[in-house]
Amino acid sequence: MIKQALEFLVSLRAPVAEIKEIHGHQYSLLAGNHPHMIKVPVAGSVQLPTLTGFADAVTMMGQEVSFIHISGPNDVRAYGEIANGERTVLATASCANRFGKIAGGYMDQDSFILQMMTRFVPAKGDHASVLATVGSLQAQAVRIDEDDGVTQVAVAKRGSKLLNVAIKNPIELYPYRTFPEIDQPPALYVLRVKTDGDKPQVGLFYVEDGAWEDAAVRGICEWLRNRIRKGDVPTIG
């Protein structure tokens, strides 16, 4: 009777898992069950807002970094060795796209000028001429005399005089769309003006494809290769 009770208690004991290494990974093996990989604790990645901070972090990590991957104009990652069947992310850099939604619709004159001054690289491309043109449009006297689909001729009031202001297209601007450490890729736009009652409305319309993203990735790749020389970390863009 006692022997049977002891045997029953032993049968209730939780089975002991056997640990085996398979292809460099440790697995827990239980009778009748599939192998379960034992995950090794991995430290979280370092998240940085700039390429400068990212490059400094990668330099400090040294040989821990296997390679750097630039997945887009706003995202860069440094990878280490494979752990738990996945490549370890050691550090990341990401930046907010400051471009927003200025392109694709009309807005009032003051809002447009503010967006031009904060979301585009100043004094590059047609930035200065666009500001001068839009700034000369007065609320009391704006009308479109000519419009051939490419160039508008707007009549603007300067003091007591009415002057013709030619708005030629396309225009080239350099919006902030990637990390500030690299040159911002240019983009082509169509600038349009219309009236809403007695107030001018200004619109900026994007006319390019996504080629700027490739240019930004190339710029990031070149910048990192020049900045991170220790150990010649491979950089993939």
User: What are the two backbone dihedrals, phi and then psi, of residue 13, each rounded to the nearest 5 degrees?
Assistant: -65, 140
Q: State mean pLDDT over 191-199.
A: 80
pLDDT at 44: 61
Does residue 147 surpass a pLDDT of 90?
A: no
**Where would I find the beta strands (DSSP E) of the chain?**
18-22, 25-29, 36-37, 46-48, 67-72, 75-83, 86-94, 105-108, 142-147, 152-158, 161-167, 171-173, 187-196, 199-206, 235-236
Question: What is the amino acid identity at position 67?
Answer: F
Q: Give the distance from CA 161 to its chain's centroid.
A: 46
Most confident of 30-39, 90-99, 134-143, 180-189: 180-189
pLDDT in tens, 153-183: 676 666 666 667 778 889 999 999 999 999 9
pLDDT at 235: 85
Locate the domains of the chain by residue range: 2-37, 46-96+215-229, 105-210
Binning pLDDT at 50, 70 and 90, where does residue 72 land? very high
Helix (H) or strand (E) holding 54: helix 51-61
Indicate the pTM of the whole model: 0.73
pLDDT, the chain, mean: 78
Does residue 31 surpass a pLDDT of 70?
A: no
Binning pLDDT at 50, 70 and 90, where does residue 99 land? low
Q: State mean pLDDT over 61-68.
A: 88
